[in-house]
Amino acid sequence: MAVNYYDPEYEVVRLDERCISCRVCERQCANEVHSFLPETGKMASDETKCVNCQRCVSLCPTHALKIVRSSNQYKDNANWSRKTMNEIYRQADSGGVLLSSMGNPEPYPVYFDRILLNASQVTNPSIDPLREPMETRVFLGAKPESIQRDDTGRIVNNLPPQIDLAMPIMFSAMSYGSISYNAHESLARAAEALGILYNTGEGGLHEDFYRYGPQTIVQVASGRFGVHPDYLNSGAAIEIKMGQGAKPGIGGHLPGRKIVDDVSRTRMIPVGSDAISPAPHHDIYSIEDLRQLVDSLKEATHYTKPVIVKIAAVHQVSAIASGIARSGADIIAIDGFRGGTGAAPTRIRDHVGIPIELALASVDQRLRDEGIRDRVSLVVGGSIRSSADVVKALALGADCVYIATAALLALGCHLCRSCHAGKCNWGIATQVPELVKRLNPEIGYQRLVNLMTAWQHEIKEMMGGMGINSIESLKGNRLMLRGVDLTAKELAILGIRHAGE
């Protein structure tokens, strides 16, 4: 066996006095870290294979396990970190591009954590959500320029197609293929129970899930996998995916081993073939081309579905968003650089794009400056981690947020960032049947409903504290925000004042 230049990242710590050798860890680890030694009756570990997904830790009935960062040390070096060195060893081994999954884990500033919310004191009352109505319903879509009336003077409904949500949160795009059938079913059922939407991602829509159509955003991405008229017409809205926060400027690659029978049928590509989404849409090389795709999709769906255009947050995001708003899109989705992914080149994920907070603030302000904010709704994603992030995003100017990583966490994901390996021990990012079955949608959907219900309660509490009893009065209400530990420039971009001002 060749020499491994890099050391194992983790150590499996097994507390001997607690381990009863029930072998649950062994049976649950698809990476084959744990094994049973019959001669001693004890468990053993191969730490080189551990990805720290925490499945064994969670299922160990005697809490005998923990996974810790390996205490092995390279010689101290402030410039060459162990991570950087290991990446070099891996590339020298493989000659390949480093791959990662889920969102950017690097220590860039998290602006949400430097923004604080307001509350009412004395001059106006806070409102108790347990005693008074506290409204979280939102509509997404373009608003009409003018009011029309019929002969009797009644207002004519001239609204373009809208999305009607019980709360300003949707599950963002995760394709069937990148995540499992059971994960998709959990999301679809939860969306239905919650009165919100989930998103097919670019992998088409499995035939079993057409019945969740009113809860579904159907995505059209550069690979056009699984796109056909019935698909487009089955959803509540159509999303054109131009970019993704985790990998702006590049396409996608779902390895052939994930293209199993069902996935192949849904994506309309042969079993075992790699599903490659080109970096650009090859029919969109400019903004006027986007308009044509928007119009084509509207034509194909008889102008009954709002069209979302999703972009990654990049440097010129406000100008791009302004262009999209003038291209017939009803909704713009912006994905920040911390957004998740099933697989992305590490260097792209960790170094391309900008934080969603800054992108959102500048897009919202630009669209207002240009007087076109009402033409589109804004949905933002890219690491919305809690109800507080939701409230802050709305106050910065979003109509709604997209969550995906938080939803996967609810299903068991522990952010081991190994989705691309296809051996997700939690049954989420895998197509291996014995792993997929680990996610029972009956449990999964309930956990998603629980999470969203909890967030909704918290959102109501925060709104009530601010004396706001309807979510629309939170939208763009930046006076409810104050910054801490931010520079004047950052405050200016965010359009908020510093705490104490």
Partner 1 sequence: MREGQIRIPSGCAISGVFDRSGRRMSGDAIIRSMEVMHDRSNGLGGGFAAYGIYPDYKDYYALHVFYDQALARKECEAFLERHFDIINLSKIPTRKMKAITDEPLIWRYFVAPLPTRLADSQLDEREYVVKCVFRVNREIEGAYVFSSGKNMGVFKAVGFPEDVGRFYRLEDYEGYCFTAHGRYPTNTPGWWGGAHPFALLDYSVVHNGEISSYDANRRAIEMHGYTCTLLTDTEVITYIIDYLHRRKQLTLTEIASVIAAPFWQTIDRLPDDQQASFIYLRNVFASQLLTGPFSILAGFEGGLMALNDRLKLRSMVVGEKGDKVYFASEESAMRMIEPSLDHVWSPRGGEAVIVRLNGGNTSGC
Partner 2 sequence: MKRVYVNEQWCLACHLCEYYCALAGTSQTDMARALKGITIRPNLRLEEKGGISFAVSCRHCEDPVCVKSCITGALTIKDGLIAIDRDLCIGCYTCILTCPYGAVSPSTDGAVQKCELCVQTEAGTPACVRGCPNGAIVFEERG
The reply to whether 17 sits near partner 2 by the rule CB under 8 A is yes
3-state secondary structure of 496: coil
Q: What is the largest CA-CA distance in the chain?
A: 91
The reply to whether 351 sits near partner 2 by the rule CB under 8 A is no
Query: CB of 451: closest distance to partner 1 in angstroms?
Result: 23
- Tokens for 432? 């291996």
Which is closer to partner 2, CB of 28 or CB of 234?
Answer: 28
Name the strand (E) or helix (H) holding 194.
helix 181-194
Instruction: State which of residues 5, 63, 292, 497 lies at the interface with partner 2 (CB under 8 A).
Output: 63
The reply to whether 125 sits near partner 1 by the rule CB under 8 A is yes
The reply to whether 375 sits near partner 1 by the rule CB under 8 A is no
CA distance 72 to 84: 15
Interface of this chain with partner 1, residues 387 to 426, rule: CB under 8 A = 397
Piece of 147-155, 185-193, 271-279, 437-445 that binds partner 1 (CB under 8 A): 147-155
Which is closer to partner 1, CB of 151 or CB of 230?
Answer: 151
The reply to whether 362 sits near partner 1 by the rule CB under 8 A is no
Which is closer to partner 2, CB of 158 or CB of 440?
Answer: 440
Query: CB of 304: closest distance to partner 1 in angstroms?
Result: 17
- Other Cβ atoms within 10 Å of 77 Cβ, number: 10
Instruction: State which of residues 257, 347, 437, 497 lies at the interface with partner 2 (CB under 8 A).
Output: 437
* Secondary structure letter of residue 423 according to DSSP: B
Beta strands per DSSP E along 18-126 = 34-37, 42-45, 65-69, 99-100, 115-117
CA distance 109 to 279: 28
Q: What residue spans of 202-269 are helical by DSSP H?
A: 229-234, 261-267
If we measure between CA atoms, which residue out of 35, 45, 57 comes closest to residue 11? Answer: 45
- Tokens for 55? 């499945």
The reply to whether 24 sits near partner 2 by the rule CB under 8 A is yes
- Tokens for 178? 């990148």
CA distance 241 to 311: 7
Which is closer to partner 2, CB of 22 or CB of 193?
Answer: 22
The reply to whether 152 sits near partner 1 by the rule CB under 8 A is no
Piece of 95-103, 183-191, 272-280, 477-485 that binds partner 1 (CB under 8 A): 477-485
Instruction: State which of residues 7, 11, 22, 251 lies at the interface with partner 2 (CB under 8 A).
Output: 22
Instruction: State which of residues 478, 483, 490, 494 lies at the interface with partner 1 (CB under 8 A).
Output: 478
The reply to whether 347 sits near partner 2 by the rule CB under 8 A is no
Name the strand (E) or helix (H) holding 410.
helix 405-410
CA distance 481 to 491: 10
Binds 438, which of partner 2, partner 1, none (CB < 5 to 8 A, cut-off by type)? partner 2
Per the document, the length of the chain is: 501
The reply to whether 120 sits near partner 1 by the rule CB under 8 A is yes
The reply to whether 282 sits near partner 2 by the rule CB under 8 A is no
Which is closer to partner 2, CB of 435 or CB of 471?
Answer: 435
Q: How far is CA 385 from CA 199, 455, 459, in A?
A: 18, 10, 13
Instruction: State which of residues 12, 64, 221, 329 lies at the interface with partner 2 (CB under 8 A).
Output: 64
Which is closer to partner 2, CB of 62 or CB of 121?
Answer: 62
The reply to whether 183 sits near partner 1 by the rule CB under 8 A is no
The reply to whether 434 sits near partner 2 by the rule CB under 8 A is yes
Residue with tokens 């291996």: 432
CA angle 386, 391, 397 (to 5 degrees): 130
CA distance 313 to 496: 20
Q: Which residues bind partner 2 (CB under 8 A)?
A: 17-20, 22-24, 27-28, 58-59, 61-64, 433-434, 437-440, 442-443
